[in-house]
C-alpha cells in the first residue's frame, strides 16, 4: 500500500506533465493569440506548480514580495524571443531544479533576502518564458502571445502572494501555528514534485 | 510644475509609441470575421448553395463538412431521400473566420439558420420545422459562447469597464454603475437587433473609442482633485455609454441574418454570454485591486497618471484608426 501512493503520484505527475499545449491551441483558434498566451502556462504542470510556489514563497515574506509584481512578468518576456534556443529537456530540468530549490526554501520557512527572492523569481520566469515560447507556431502573433503571457504572469503571482499573505496572517507571529506548518508542508510537496520531475528528465 | 508637464508629455509620447506598435488588426479583433452561406432547396434533398456574405479568407478556402450521405460540390449539394439531416461543421475556423451562418431555405416550410462558430464548431440540422429541445439547447450553447467570445475579444468594451471601475472604486457604487451599464447596453442591443434603431457600424465604433477617451479624461480629473461627471453621476454616464456599446454588440448579431422567430432567444443567450464575460472581467479586476491593497503595492506617485494617459492614448489611437476607416469607406 505504501508503494502504491508514490507510484500513483508519479503517474499523475507524468500524466499532467505530458499534457501538451493542445488546449491552449484550441483557445487560440477560438479567442486569438493573446488568450493563447494567457492560457498556455495554465495547461502545463511545471508552470502551475512553479508559479504557485514562487508566489507562496513571496507571500510568506510580506512586503518584500511585492517587487515580484514587476519582476515576474518582465522575466517571462526576457527569454521569450529565444525560446527555441533552449532544448525542451534543459528547460524541464532547470524548471525542476527551481521547483526543488523554492520548495525547500518554503519548507524551511527561510527568510530570503529581497534581492535573492527577485533573482529566484526572475530565473523562474525566464525559464518558463522560454518553455512557453518553445511551443509557439510560426503563424502565432508573438506580440499578442507575449502580452497574454505577461498579463497572466502578473495576475497569477499577485493573487497567489496576496492569498498566501492572507492565509498566513502576518500578525500571528507563531511559527508553529497550523497555518505556518501547512505552508511548510506544501513547500515539502513542491520540493518532492521537483525532485521527481528532475529524476524523470534525467532518466529519459 | 514644468517638470510634471514634461513628464506627462513623455508619458504621452511613450504610450502613443506603444499603441502605434500594436497592429490595427489586433485592435479590431473583436469585429468577428464572418460569412453567410445560403442553401436553397430546388427539389427534395437537392440544394443550391450561395455565399451571401463571403468570409474574408475567401469562399474557396472554407472547408465545409456535411453529413456523410450528402454529396457536396458547391454550388450543388445532394442529400438524396434522407434529406439534409445530421452534423455540419467547418474544419478551418479560426481568428480569420470565426463565425459562419448556414441558412437553409426548404421548398416547404420556413427558412432555418444554423450558426457555426469557433465556440460551437458543429451544428446538427434537425430537419423539423418546430424547434425541439435539442435545438434550443444548441441555440443557447452557441449564443452564450458567442457572447462570451465577443466581450472577451472586445478590448474597447473591457477598457471602458476598467475605466469605470477605476473612477468608481468598489462597493455598491460599482454595483449600481455596472448594473446601469448592463441595462443600457441590453436595451440598445435589443432595440438594434429588432431593427428599431440603426446606426452605421464605422461611426459607431469611432464613438465607442471616444467614450473610452472620455473615461480617461475623467480619471485625470479625479486625480487632480476635480469632481467630474462620472465621479458625480457614474450610473448616468454608464447607462448613456452603455447604450452606445450595446449597439456595437448588436452589430455582431446583425450580420448573421437570424430568422425572426429565433431572434429573441438568440439575443437573450448572447446577452447572457456578454454578462458572464463582463462579470468575470470585473471580478478579476476587483481581485487584483484587493491583492494590491493587501500587498501594499501601489504605483509610485510620479507614475499615477500613467494608466489614465494609457487608456486615453490607446482610445484616441483607436478613434483615429476607425475615423480613417470610416472616411476610406466613403
| pLDDT tens digits, one per residue of B183-214 | 998 898 888 877 787 778 788 888 889 999 99
Which residues contact residue A76 at a Cβ distance below 8 angstroms, ignoring those fewer than 6 apart? A125, A126, A128, A129, A132, A149, A150, A153
Stretch A54-69: mean pLDDT: 89
Across A78-87, A138-147, A185-194, B203-212, least confident range = A78-87
Contact A159 B291 (CB under 8 A): yes
Contact B26 A144 (CB under 8 A): yes
All cell numbers assigned to B22: 500594436
Which chain A residue's Cα is nearest to B284?
A155
Q: Which residues of B235-255 are buried (b: 16+ CB within 10 A; e: fewer)?
A: bebbbebbbbbbbbbbbbbeb
- Give which of A116, A126, A122 is closest to A61, Cα–Cα: A116
Do residues A135 and A40 lie in contact, with contact meaning Cβ atoms separated by under 8 Å?
yes
Q: For chain B, which residues score pLDDT lower than 50?
A: 1-4, 6-7, 9-12, 14-16, 18-32
Which residues contact residue B254 at a Cβ distance below 8 angstroms, ignoring those fewer than 6 apart? B192, B193
pLDDT of residue B267: 85
DSSP 8-class letter at A138? T
Enumerate chain B positions whose Cβ falls within 8 A of a Cβ in A.
Answer: 21-23, 26, 29, 93-95, 98, 118-119, 149, 152-153, 284, 287-288, 290-292, 294-297
- The most distant pair of C-alpha atoms in chain B lies apart, rounded to whole Å, by 82
Measured in residues, chain A has a length of: 204
Chain B residues near residue A141 by CB distance under 8 angstroms: 26
Nearest neighbour of B296 by CB, restricted to A35, A63, A155: A63
pLDDT-based confidence at A11, cuts 50/70/90? low
Do residues B151 and B277 lie in contact, with contact meaning Cβ atoms separated by under 8 Å?
yes
Nearest neighbour of B295 by CB, restricted to A34, A144, A161: A161
**pTM to 2 decimal places:** 0.73
Chain A residues near residue B91 by CB distance under 8 angstroms: none
Contact A165 B290 (CB under 8 A): no
Nearest neighbour of B297 by CB, restricted to A34, A66, A141: A66
pLDDT of residue B29: 38
Do residues B271 and B189 lie in contact, with contact meaning Cβ atoms separated by under 8 Å?
yes
Residue of higher predicted confidence among A2 and A114: A114
pLDDT of residue A186: 93
Residue A57, pLDDT > 90, answer yes
Q: Percent of chain A scored above 70 by pLDDT?
A: 79
Do residues B45 and B84 lie in contact, with contact meaning Cβ atoms separated by under 8 Å?
yes
pLDDT of residue B3: 43
Beta-bridged to residue B123, according to DSSP, are B88
CA distance B316 to B322: 10
Do residues B153 and B274 lie in contact, with contact meaning Cβ atoms separated by under 8 Å?
no
Distance from CA of A31 to the nearest CA of B (A): 7
| pLDDT tens digits, one per residue of B291-316 | 998 888 887 777 778 888 888 899 99
Amino acid at each position: 500500500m505504501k508503494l502504491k501512493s508514490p507510484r500513483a503520484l508519479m503517474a499523475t505527475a507524468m500524466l499532467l506533465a505530458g499534457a501538451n499545449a493542445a488546449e491552449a491551441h484550441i483557445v487560440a483558434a477560438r479567442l486569438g493569440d493573446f488568450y493563447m498566451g494567457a492560457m498556455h502556462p495554465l495547461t502545463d504542470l511545471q508552470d502551475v506548480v512553479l508559479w504557485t510556489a514562487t508566489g507562496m514563497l513571496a507571500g510568506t515574506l510580506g512586503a518584500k514580495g511585492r517587487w515580484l509584481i514587476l519582476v515576474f512578468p518582465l522575466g517571462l518576456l526576457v527569454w521569450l524571443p529565444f525560446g527555441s534556443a533552449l532544448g525542451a529537456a534543459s528547460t524541464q530540468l532547470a524548471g525542476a531544479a527551481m521547483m526543488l530549490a523554492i520548495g525547500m526554501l518554503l519548507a524551511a520557512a527561510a527568510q530570503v533576502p529581497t534581492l535573492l527572492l527577485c533573482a529566484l523569481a526572475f530565473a523562474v520566469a525566464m525559464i518558463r518564458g522560454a518553455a512557453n515560447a518553445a511551443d509557439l507556431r510560426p503563424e502565432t502573433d508573438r506580440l499578442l502571445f507575449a502580452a497574454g503571457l505577461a498579463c497572466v504572469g502578473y495576475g497569477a503571482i499577485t493573487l497567489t502572494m496576496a492569498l498566501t499573505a492572507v492565509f498566513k496572517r502576518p500578525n500571528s507571529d507563531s511559527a508553529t501555528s497550523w497555518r505556518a506548518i501547512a505552508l511548510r508542508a506544501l513547500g515539502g510537496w513542491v520540493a518532492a514534485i521537483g525532485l521527481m520531475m528532475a529524476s524523470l528528465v534525467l532518466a529519459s | 510644475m514644468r517638470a510634471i508637464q514634461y513628464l506627462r508629455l513623455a508619458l504621452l509620447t511613450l504610450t502613443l509609441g506603444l499603441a502605434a506598435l500594436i497592429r490595427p488588426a489586433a485592435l479590431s479583433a473583436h469585429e468577428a470575421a464572418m460569412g453567410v452561406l445560403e442553401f436553397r432547396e430546388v427539389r427534395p434533398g437537392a440544394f443550391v448553395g450561395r455565399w451571401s456574405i463571403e468570409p474574408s479568407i475567401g469562399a474557396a478556402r472554407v472547408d465545409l463538412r456535411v453529413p456523410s450521405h450528402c454529396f457536396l460540390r458547391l454550388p450543388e449539394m445532394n442529400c438524396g431521400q434522407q434529406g439534409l439531416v445530421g452534423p455540419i461543421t467547418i474544419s478551418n475556423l479560426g481568428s480569420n473566420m470565426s463565425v459562419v451562418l448556414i441558412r437553409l431555405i426548404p421548398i416547404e416550410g420556413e427558412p432555418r439558420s444554423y450558426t457555426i462558430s469557433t465556440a460551437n464548431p458543429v451544428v446538427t440540422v434537425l430537419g423539423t420545422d418546430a424547434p425541439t429541445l435539442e435545438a434550443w439547447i444548441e441555440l443557447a450553447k452557441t449564443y452564450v459562447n458567442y457572447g462570451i467570445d465577443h466581450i472577451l475579444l472586445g478590448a474597447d468594451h473591457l477598457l471602458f469597464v476598467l475605466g469605470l471601475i477605476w473612477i468608481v472604486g468598489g462597493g455598491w457604487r460599482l454595483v449600481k454603475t455596472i448594473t446601469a451599464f448592463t441595462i443600457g447596453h441590453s436595451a440598445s442591443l435589443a432595440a438594434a437587433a429588432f431593427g428599431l434603431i440603426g446606426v452605421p457600424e464605422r461611426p459607431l465604433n469611432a464613438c465607442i473609442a471616444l467614450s473610452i477617451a472620455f473615461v480617461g479624461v475623467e480619471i485625470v480629473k479625479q486625480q487632480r482633485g476635480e469632481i467630474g461627471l462620472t465621479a458625480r453621476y457614474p450610473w448616468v454616464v454608464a447607462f448613456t455609454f452603455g447604450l452606445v456599446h450595446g449597439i456595437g454588440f448588436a452589430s455582431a448579431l446583425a450580420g448573421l441574418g437570424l430568422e425572426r422567430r429565433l431572434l429573441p432567444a438568440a439575443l437573450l443567450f448572447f446577452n447572457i454570454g456578454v454578462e458572464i464575460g463582463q462579470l468575470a472581467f470585473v471580478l478579476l479586476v476587483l481581485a487584483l485591486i484587493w491583492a494590491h491593497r493587501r500587498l501594499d503595492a501601489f504605483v509610485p506617485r510620479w507614475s499615477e497618471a500613467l494608466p489614465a494617459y494609457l487608456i486615453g492614448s490607446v482610445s484616441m489611437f483607436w478613434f483615429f484608426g476607425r475615423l480613417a476607416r470610416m472616411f476610406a469607406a466613403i
